[in-house]
Amino acid sequence: MGTLTKKYPTWNKTFWEHLDIAIKLRSIHKVIILDHRDCGAYKVILGEDFAKDSAKETAAHTTQLKRLSALIKKKHPKLEVEMLLIALDGKDSSGTAWRKRNESAPPLCSAGR
């Protein structure tokens, strides 16, 4: 969301700089875009509480995820892009915990950091 808004232009700049650095330093081949439901940024930037209507919330996230995915692929056609939408408890739409599907990935966050 922050990457697509004109409301916070530095977020957009930071995302693209970070992605470019990751490509140069780590030769990444995949970007995972991870959105979460009941997102405060969506409320602030889009001016609506989509969490009140699950279908509308899913549609809003899908639109933003697809927009960002298309921009990434346009700028970096060789990158694979995976789009995920999770609940605040970390589960995706199938009820699978994201961390369980990606156990080799580092922690998303740790207490005390």
72, 81 Cβ separation under 8 angstroms: yes
16: pLDDT strictly greater than 70: yes
Would you state the pLDDT for residue 74? 98
Would you state the pLDDT for residue 110? 36
Each residue's pLDDT tens digit, 54-112:
999 999 999 999 999 999 999 999 999 999 998 888 877 666 665 555 555 444 433 33
How many whole angstroms separate alpha carbon 33 and alpha carbon 113?
22
DSSP 8-state class, residue 112? T
Name the residue ranges covered by the structural domains of the chain: 29-95
Q: Write down the pTM of the prediction.
A: 0.79
Would you state the pLDDT for residue 11? 93
